[in-house]
């Protein structure tokens, strides 16, 4: 049986400028793959290509197969049915993804209803509460009608995760889901994701620039640089004996308890000299993305 997600020779160019250069990756059912690399290495573009959320200026080559379905050949309508149901994604900044003027419980319920139009309001509400319970949002029956700004950053990220898992997706893509959070909250969210993975048998693609973070939720890691995969292996192997100098630099950039306090921290040159004008974040197909975020309304 093929892996749940199989990416073969994927290339993405923006106006002839390559962002992803012929990468191949696969994630077997139930496995969790971490994708790491410095800023601009092509991690988000890869994730958005899988979700088919890149805008029209992106020229995509290669193939992306999900559960034996060739995603790149699906119609927009077929893709919309998969997105949010079988394929879910958590973005870095929950505040931009949540609707500020809609109670959080209703937003999660909407996510359910978008893919289960046959559900009554009551059933959608029950499913939403179940998902919000699963992500350990405290006292959610009472807070169902609270608005996003009434929750902390970590709680809002939990709401996003609840929305993502409410329809029991088979693949969950998490793109830097903890970068905006402080360290303690980050740890809690990582534990939650690891726990949900076990409970629901989720297959996961977890993106981060931080190898230490990735190793908490992934079995294997692929290291990306300048749009290519430069190294791939189990977390343990990569930590024990990273082969590629770039991976070693990524590891070296993480201070440990043994790092002397007066030692300057290693840094990676974040700017790609070949693309000094690179943009801060990828441009997505805004109509599709908005539609996905608001679950088809
Ligand atoms: N719509 C676009 N048009 C042109 N170039 C783009 C577009 N979207 C992304 N890029 C370029 O593609 C490259 C990869 O970007 P991507 O956002 O995938 O990096 P990343 O690894 O996710 O970085 P970060 O860690 O900062 O999130 C960058 O050079 C970026 O400028
Ligand atoms: Mg990114």
Query: Can you tell me whether residue 204 is helix, strand or coil?
Result: strand
CA of 19 to the centre of ligand 2 (A): 12
Residues sharing a CB contact under 8 Å with residue 72, sequence separation 6 or more, in sequence order: 52, 60, 63, 64
Which among 42, 90, 179, 214 is the best mutation to test ligand 1's pocket, defined by most ligand atoms within 8 Å of the CB? 42
Residues 206-250: pLDDT tens digits? 999 888 899 999 999 999 999 999 999 999 888 888 888 888 888
Domain segments of the chain: what residues? 5-86+170-290, 99-168
pLDDT at 277: 43
- Out of 10, 13, 14, give the residue to mutate to test ligand 1, the one with the largest number of ligand atoms within 8 Å of its CB: 14
Ligand nearest to the CA of residue 282, numbered in listed order: 1
Helix (H) or strand (E) holding 247: helix 245-252
- The structure tokens listed for 29 are 């059912």
What 3-state class would DSSP assign to 32?
strand
**pLDDT for 247:** 87
The two tokens of residue 265 are 């921290």
Instruction: Quote the crossing angle between the two packed helices 153-165 and 121-134, to the nearest 10°.
Output: 120
For the domain 5-86+170-290, what is the CATH code?
3.40.50.300
Whole-structure pTM value: 0.86
Q: What six digits make up the tokens of 136?
A: 């350990």
- For 68, the enclosing helix (H) or strand (E) is none
Asked whether the predicted pLDDT for residue 153 surpasses 70, the reply is yes
For residue 271, pLDDT over 70 is answered with no
Mean pLDDT lowest among 30-39, 41-50, 287-296 = 287-296
Contact indicator for 189, 158 with CB cutoff of 8 Å:
yes
At 13, list the tokens: 């160019």
Q: Which of 86, 87, 26, 16 is nearest to 51 (CA)?
A: 87
């Amino acid at each position: 049986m093929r892996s749940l997600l199989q990416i073969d020779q994927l290339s993405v160019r923006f106006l002839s400028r390559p962002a992803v250069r012929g990468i191949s990756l696969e994630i077997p059912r139930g496995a969790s793959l971490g994708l790491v690399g410095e800023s601009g290495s092509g991690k988000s573009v890869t994730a958005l290509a899988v979700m088919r959320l890149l805008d029209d200026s992106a020229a995509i080559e290669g193939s992306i197969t999900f559960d034996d379905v060739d995603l790149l050949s699906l119609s927009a309508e077929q893709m919309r049915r998969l997105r949010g149901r079988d394929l879910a994604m958590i973005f870095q900044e929950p505040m931009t993804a949540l609707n500020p003027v809609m109670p959080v419980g209703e937003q999660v319920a909407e996510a359910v209803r978008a893919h289960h139009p046959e559900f009554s309001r009551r059933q959608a509400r029950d499913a939403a509460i179940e998902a919000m319970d699963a992500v350990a949002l405290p006292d959610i029956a009472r807070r169902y009608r609270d608005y996003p700004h009434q929750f902390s950053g970590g709680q809002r990220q939990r709401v996003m995760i609840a929305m993502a898992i409410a329809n029991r997706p088979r693949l969950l893509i998490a793109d830097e889901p903890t970068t905006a959070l402080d360290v303690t909250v980050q740890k809690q969210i990582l534990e939650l994701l690891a726990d949900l993975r076990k409970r629901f048998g989720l297959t996961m693609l977890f993106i981060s620039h931080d190898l230490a973070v990735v190793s908490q939720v992934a079995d294997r890691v692929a290291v990306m640089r300048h749009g290519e995969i430069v190294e791939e292996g189990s977390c343990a192997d990569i930590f024990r004996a990273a082969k590629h100098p770039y991976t070693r630099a990524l590891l070296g950039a993480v201070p440990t308890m043994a790092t002397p306090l007066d030692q300057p921290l290693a840094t990676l040159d974040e700017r790609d000299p070949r693309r000094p004008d690179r943009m801060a974040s990828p441009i997505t197909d805004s109509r599709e993305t908005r539609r996905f975020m608001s679950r088809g309304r």
